[in-house]
């Protein structure tokens, strides 16, 4: 696939590893300062607000501007902001709002970065290699999901929060240098040369494509809105649960969370073969329902090993479809529209996460019963799977068209939306 792709792969893996360091360190820092589940939930809500505010403009930027330069600027900006966060920790801040402010600023980079990343890949990889390219990116992401929490937990235990967050900042700068090294040919820098409409009209064009021309994309995105609400009821307070209910130390928490990486790697390993045998929409709906059932096992389990096994299985289920989903979008959406479509479907999928994180914090603070939170999240995933089966997403299982091949077809199957982003996200986050 060429040196340019491998440089992009290095950038993705490096920044992903750094983000795992950040993703474990910051909730533990807030919990250390406040001891409050609601404060930790508020952190997650703040981190996901930028996806609602900036995803649509980010998609327009990806379609208007040089995507390579946009990625370099995004990594460099994130590195500077992460250095600012490390400085706050060094100053031993005892008030929480500056940490929230910096976390918000760092999160503002991602909704602009991700559409550019997804739209940049087809410019450096031939169309017939996109599936493999996305597969390798997903595999690299899953490996960092496996080792990242262990590295983060070990760094926190050995060096404290300051060095841990500095490592995260360094990862962004390494990613920026890798993308800077990608040779800027016309194929790399080219975006549509047509006259540009206003920002509002360009956003409206993307919305019309999703809601009028591609109902499967619409149904899938809305399905993930519901799925993410159910997932983040648990995920936003999972570290609080491990600390307060199970009394685990940061290094043990890192090992427990590393199981999600093992599960993600195994899920990605079987995903390609699975979607060649079973219609992708059916796989997506089935894994969502199965994940709801598996989530219920978190309620009676006390052993870190048992919790890690269930958590890893949930990530395996959540890792099956993203390669196919990314490849589908990149193949069927025109290049000049791709950034906006990626951003819009992602915004729809993430819209419920800030609300869910706050609801989970309120439930825990009010009832002091995280088992109730787990039960609600599990049952909601089952409900969402049922509704998805009745939607155009479920109907696509029976529809014969190029994007939803018949089961057993010799052609490569093109699936519908699936979980997990290429960069800085967990496979539990459905896109």
Paired tokens of 179 = 């993308």
pLDDT over 90 percentage in the chain:
15
pLDDT tens digits for range 29-40 = 788 788 777 787
pTM: 0.66
Confidence of residue 176 (pLDDT cuts 50, 70, 90): very high
Confidence of residue 71 (pLDDT cuts 50, 70, 90): very high
Q: The CATH number of the domain where 119 resides is what?
A: 1.20.1250.20
Residues 95-105, mean pLDDT to the nearest whole number: 85
Average confidence score pLDDT of the chain: 79
Coil, helix or strand for 404? strand
Q: Which residue has the tokens 């389990």?
A: 301
Residues 272-280, mean pLDDT to the nearest whole number: 71
Paired tokens of 290 = 């199965």
Which domain range does residue 285 map to?
3-395
Instruction: Give the Cα separation of 414 and 399 in Å (integer).
Output: 13
Rg (CA), the chain: 20
Residue 417 lies in a domain: no
- As a whole number of Å, the end-to-end CA separation of the chain is 26
- Residue ranges with strand state E in 168-223: none
pLDDT tens digits for range 137-161 = 877 877 776 777 777 777 777 877 7
Residue 428 lies in a domain: no
The better pLDDT of the pair 383, 117 is held by: 383
The better pLDDT of the pair 156, 317 is held by: 317
Question: What is the domain count for the chain?
Answer: 1
| Structure confidence at residue 286 (pLDDT) | 86
| Structure confidence at residue 219 (pLDDT) | 82
Question: Closest Cα to residue 356, out of 368, 364, 345?
Answer: 364
Contacts of 133 (CB under 8 A, 6+ apart): 1, 5, 121, 125
Residue 180 lies in a domain: yes
Phi, psi for 430 (deg, rounded to 5) = -85, 140
Q: In the 3-class helix/strand/coil scheme, how is 201-230 assigned residue by residue?
A: HHHHHHHHHHHHHCHHHHHHHHHHHHHHHH
Residue 425 lies in a domain: no
Instruction: Say whether pLDDT at 411 is over 60.
Output: no
Residue 361 lies in a domain: yes
| Structure confidence at residue 229 (pLDDT) | 94
Contacts of 213 (CB under 8 A, 6+ apart): none
What's the Cα-to-Cα distance from 36 to each of 23, 28, 183, 244, rounded to whole Å? Answer: 17, 11, 48, 10
Residue 118 lies in a domain: yes
Confidence of residue 417 (pLDDT cuts 50, 70, 90): very low
pLDDT tens digits for range 203-260 = 888 889 888 888 877 887 888 889 889 998 998 788 888 988 888 887 788 788 788 8
């Amino acid at each position: 696939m060429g040196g340019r792709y491998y440089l992009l792969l290095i950038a993705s893996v490096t920044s992903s590893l750094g983000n795992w360091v950040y993703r474990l360190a910051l909730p533990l820092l807030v919990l250390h300062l406040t001891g409050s589940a609601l404060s930790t939930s508020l952190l997650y809500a703040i981190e996901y607000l930028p996806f609602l505010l900036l995803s649509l403009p980010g998609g327009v930027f990806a379609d208007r501007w040089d995507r390579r330069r946009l990625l370099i600027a995004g990594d460099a900006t994130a590195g500077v902001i992460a250095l600012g966060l490390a400085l706050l920790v060094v100053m031993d801040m005892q008030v929480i709002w500056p940490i929230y402010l910096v976390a918000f600023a760092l999160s503002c980079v991602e909704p602009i970065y991700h559409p550019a990343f997804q739209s940049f890949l087809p410019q450096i990889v031939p169309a017939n290699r996109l599936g493999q390219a996305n597969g390798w990116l997903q595999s690299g992401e899953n490996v960092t999901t496996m080792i990242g929490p262990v590295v983060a937990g070990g760094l926190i235990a050995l060096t404290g929060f300051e060095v841990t967050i500095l490592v995260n900042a360094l990862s962004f700068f390494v990613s920026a240098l890798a993308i800077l090294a990608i040779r800027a040919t016309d194929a790399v820098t080219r975006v549509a040369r047509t006259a540009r409409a206003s920002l509002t009209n360009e956003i409206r064009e993307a919305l019309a494509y999703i809601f009028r021309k591609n109902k499967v994309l619409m149904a899938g995105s809305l399905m993930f809105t519901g799925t993410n609400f159910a997932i983040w009821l648990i995920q936003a307070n999972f570290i609080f649960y491990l600390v307060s209910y199970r009394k685990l130390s940061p290094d043990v928490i890192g090992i427990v969370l590393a199981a999600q990486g093992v599960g993600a790697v195994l899920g990605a390993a079987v995903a390609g073969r699975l979607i060649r045998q079973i219609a992708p929409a059916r796989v997506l709906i089935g894994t969502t329902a199965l994940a709801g059932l598996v989530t219920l096992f978190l309620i009676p389990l006390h052993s870190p090993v048992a919790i890690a096994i269930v958590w890893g299985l949930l990530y395996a289920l959540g890792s099956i479809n993203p390669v196919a989903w990314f490849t589908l979008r990149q193949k069927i959406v025109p290049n000049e529209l791709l950034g906006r479509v990626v951003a819009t479907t992602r915004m729809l999928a993430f819209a419920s996460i800030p609300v869910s994180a706050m609801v989970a914090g309120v439930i825990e603070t009010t009832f002091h019963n995280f088992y109730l939170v787990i039960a609600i999240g599990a049952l909601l995933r089952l409900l969402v799977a049922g509704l998805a089966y009745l939607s155009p997403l479920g109907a696509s299982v029976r529809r014969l068209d190029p994007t939803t091949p018949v089961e057993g077809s010799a052609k490569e199957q093109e699936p519908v939306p699936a979980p997990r982003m290429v960069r800085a996200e967990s496979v539990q986050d459905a896109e």
